[in-house]
Structure 1
């Protein structure tokens, strides 16, 4: 089954006085880019969640957000002295260097500094966050399963679109092959007429040399190989879609090959109807390539 790279899943949970909210979303990307926002005081949780996502996904820009709150007044937010000192020292060094270079920086605001990761410590009201971390780890696979279910649902719709586009490419390729057969006779007549014109011009010309040149023109305008490669690419694309799984990169490569053959077909056609078919083929291939960008 094909999976889309676009998906979203959310969930909520609770344990004792703690409650939390999950949000997991992804968009297209060339590789797998994981961005996690997990409370720092939940030791070991981020690494475990990152490992689970790495096993379940192969492509996409994935963002995971986890917000944990505590009922009552026991939970509190406090400055992390170590992080604060590090940030302030770095800020002082930057301002000193700017002054040395004759540059004026805008005054720093406390609100900006509070947004630095690790500046604030959230107290859980308990010295042992182990049970909470364990519960979050147990709950996470269900969130991932619902996330993958949406990816597969989007992928099923995407698969239908891709199959239709592959069928269109196959139909246009078949029509192009039929036009090539009819084009051969017209090109042969044109080449014979050109040969007679050259030989009857009264100018000195080597008949064998002229025949060789005309034969070279015929070879350069032959699109049989392009048609054959398009047929082969159609079969390969169809097989990939049947196989499913993380096939996005392979399909993207195939669309590039489709486009290369369509471009060559247009440049060598020397035939109005064949050129029109080649342009239509390019349009369908471009549409397919846009869809392929969504495939994991």
Structure 2
């Protein structure tokens, strides 16, 4: 299935920290456009061990896009066990408390007017409170599970958006075919009319030139020169090949959209080819209607190019 490069997914898991304390771990996975696969991770220290496994998961699933994983956790405060358990917020380090108390006493001997430490000051002192952290294996396992689930949600959203983009691109190719269907049969008529005007102008110009010279050239030679000029010009403005290539490229676009797997780079190349043919049609135009049709084709191709940038 064709997918876009933008998407979002999130999932959560719980991690046991010991002493009946549980942490809620939330993992988010975001993806935006990029020519190549670009991975980024913003994980807390407890989760960093899961990065290699997450990187492998993404590499197996995606080929393009800038993908970022973010994780955050907090103590689960919904359970009664947490409220009843004195270890939920951490344990006091008695040795650090005694050392801090001794330091305070020594400082007050020198600074007699210094106030005593508040409870908040004591709890914020490094090493006084030992928070429950859980085992490293538990954090890694939970992060990988949540990351895999978030990636699945992201893939689903990318596939859904990709399906919608396929519909948009197909509607644009349909419009382009309609333009070609209308204008292509008219081109020979426009060319013939332009050749007729060109023949008249060349005949007048050459006749005027011959009048100023001795009548050494015959009327047959004059018409032969006119015919050669008209034929050469007709070759230069012939757009049959451009229409043929344009229709071939449109068929290639439809084939790519009907297939599976990454198509973004292939479609981006086809957009360049379509634009080249539209430019040539515009430069060879022999009527206002042809010029307008070429401009409409270029506008539709640009719309397609913008959408193609979102496809993987």
**Alignment TM-score, normalising by the size of structure 1:** 0.77
Distance in 2 (CA, whole Å) between partners of 1:182 and 1:217 is: 15
String of CA shifts for 1:105-129, please: whole Å, max 9, x gaps.
xxxxxxxxxxxxxxxxxx8735731
**Structure 1 Cα separation of the partners of residues 173 and 166 of structure 2:** 10
Question: Helix, strand or coil: the match of 1:44?
Answer: helix
C-alpha separation in 1, matches of 2:91 and 2:277: 65
The equivalent of 1:292 in structure 2 is: 308
For the 8 Å contact 1:195–1:211, the answer to whether it is kept is: no
**Which residue of 27, 35, 59 maps to 1:22?**
27
- Aligned partner (choices 146, 157, 167) of residue 150 of structure 1: 157
Identify which range, 20-29 or 197-206, moves more after superposition.
197-206
Distance of aligned partners of 1:195 and 1:75 in 2 relative to their CA distance in 1, 3 Å threshold: farther
Match of residue 222 from structure 1 = 238
Q: CA deviation at 1:261?
A: 0.9
Q: Which residue of 1 aligns with 2:123?
A: none
Deviation at 1:187, TM superposition (A): 2.6
CA–CA distance in structure 2, aligned partners of residues 228 and 285 of structure 1: 17
How far apart are the structure 2 equivalents of 1:146 and 1:172?
Answer: 40
- How far apart in 1 are the matches of 2:164 and 2:134? 49
Corresponding position of 1:188: 195
Instruction: Choose from 239, 249, 252 the match for 1:233.
Output: 249
**Structure 1 residue aligned with 2:101:** none
Matches within 5 A, 1:274-289: 274-289=290-305
Deviation at 1:24, TM superposition (A): 1.0
Q: Does the CA-based 8 Å contact 1:176-1:227 persist in structure 2? A: no
10-19 or 230-239, which deviates more: 10-19
User: How far apart in 1 are the matches of 2:25 and 2:68?
Assistant: 17
RMSD: 2.3
Residues in 2 aligned to 1:44 and 1:70: alpha-carbon distance in whole angstroms: 20
Larger Rg: 2
Superposition deviation, residue 241 in structure 1: 0.3
1:31 aligns with 2:36: yes
Q: What residue in structure 1 maps to residue 68 of structure 2?
A: 63
CA distance in 1, matches of 2:90, 2:235: 84
Q: Flag structure 2 segments of 5+ consecutive residues without an equivalent.
A: 17-21, 77-87, 93-129
Indicate whether 1:199 and 2:206 are aligned: yes
Q: How far did residue 244 of structure 1 move?
A: 3.1
Count of residues in correspondence between the two structures? 250
Structure 1 unaligned blocks of 5 or more: 77-122
Distance between the aligned counterparts of 1:126 and 1:5, measured in 2? 36
Q: C-alpha separation between the residues in 2 aligned to 1:229 and 1:9? A: 41
- Bigger mean CA offset, 173-182 vs 5-14: 173-182
CA apart distance, 1:34: 1.0
Q: Distance in 1 between matches of 2:265 and 2:171?
A: 19
Contact 2:190 2:286 in 1 (8 A): no
Q: 1:148 to 1:124 in 2, by over 3 A?
A: farther
